[in-house]
Amino acid sequence: MMPIPQSPTHALSRPSLRPNPSPGFRSGSPASGVDHVGQLVSWASNADRTAIEDLVQFSLGGSGQETAKAATQALLVLYGDSNVNLRVRESIGAAVYACFLRLERADQQKPSVRWHPAPKTDGESTAHRGPAHMPTETLYLAGCDATDTSTRSAIERQLQARCFPSAIQGRVGEPDLLAFNRLVRSEELSGASAGFQALPVHRTHLETQAANFGNQVQELDAFAVRQKKPVAAYLNTGNHWVALILDSTKERKRYLIIDSH
């Protein structure tokens, strides 16, 4: 029996949409930036490795910050979507980790030829930024997929340097930001919310297991009454943090608990 030739329409051939894949590609043009990201997401959701690698490449910023932001967000959504095939998450993890290693090697081999650093975000340290252009979000994904202990630790230190002020870093010690099911430290919560203006977070951290828990709540409640505006505080329920908002007056007491679960 003669084999039936495969029709060209059945072949999974398509051009890569990475920056500068062909002479006709114009970086930053509408047809080569954000518009392409949407098409890549469609392919990547079916575990298309080339599409995933293209999204990682776009996230580096070579085609403009708008495109980089869209690609980074797409990678995060795909990685965290429980409804997509597990191969999608595995492929994204492998792609961002490979990108991290590639940029690290380029940094070490040619220190005088570097990528232009990505714009500094609010509250982000300028030290220990790691491979240039790799967003913090994809750096985190790279760390989740890291198999080498030393590389994983290096990524954790870079994440800590990017996400927390230097004063906080010195108090939390060796970072373990990629540890499974870890409990966030109170210092990390303070560092992440130190600049809140609309709803300031009180530096007192509550613990339901503490003997003086009731007194602490009363003190914060009185503080909210004196301030004449709501006050927030972090509450540790034993193995989980929630946010407690006290919005009390002399006439009535009102509490709101925000739980990420």
Q: Are residues 22 and 124 in the same domain?
A: yes
Q: Are residues 82 and 162 in the same domain?
A: yes
Query: For residue 225, is it within any domain?
Result: yes
- The pLDDT mean for the chain works out to 77
Full DSSP string of 139-174: HHHHHHH--SHHHHHHHHHHHHHHHS-HHHHHHH-S
Task: Give the count of domains, the chain.
Answer: 2
Query: For residue 118, is it within any domain?
Result: yes
Q: What angle do CA 235, 139, 29 make, to 5 degrees?
A: 120
Q: Are residues 63 and 148 in the same domain?
A: yes
Beta bridge partners of 207: 236
User: Which residues lie below 8 Å from residue 138, measured CB to CB, with a gap of 6+?
Assistant: 56, 59, 72, 75, 96, 99
pTM of the model: 0.65
- Give the pair of three-digit tokens for residue 134: 């790799």
Q: Are residues 162 and 133 in the same domain?
A: yes
Q: Are residues 166 and 203 in the same domain?
A: no
Q: Count each helix (H run) and each strand (E run) in the chain, helices first.
A: 9, 4
Query: For residue 6, is it within any domain?
Result: no
Query: For residue 4, is it within any domain?
Result: no
Query: Of 152, 182, 212, at which residue does a domain stop?
Result: 182
Q: Are residues 110 and 222 in the same domain?
A: no
Q: What is the DSSP letter of 47?
A: T
Confidence tier at 175 by pLDDT (50, 70, 90): low
| pLDDT 10s digits, 142-172 | 998 888 888 988 898 888 888 776 656 666 6
Percent of the chain predicted with pLDDT > 70: 74
- How many Å apart are CA 120 and CA 162, to the nearest integer? 9
Confidence tier at 12 by pLDDT (50, 70, 90): very low
The pLDDT value given to residue 260: 76
Q: Are residues 153 and 223 in the same domain?
A: no
Confidence tier at 91 by pLDDT (50, 70, 90): very high
Please provide the distance, in angstroms rounded to a whole number, between the alpha carbons at the two ends of the chain: 60
Query: For residue 134, is it within any domain?
Result: yes
* The 206-207 sheet, strands edge to edge: 206-207, 231-236, 241-246, 255-258
The pLDDT value given to residue 184: 81
Query: Of 182, 204, 221, at which residue does a domain stop?
Result: 182
Mean pLDDT along residues 207-216: 90
Q: Are residues 166 and 226 in the same domain?
A: no
- How many Å apart are CA 12 and CA 103, to the nearest integer? 29
The pLDDT value given to residue 227: 85
Residue 59 belongs to what domain range?
Answer: 12-182
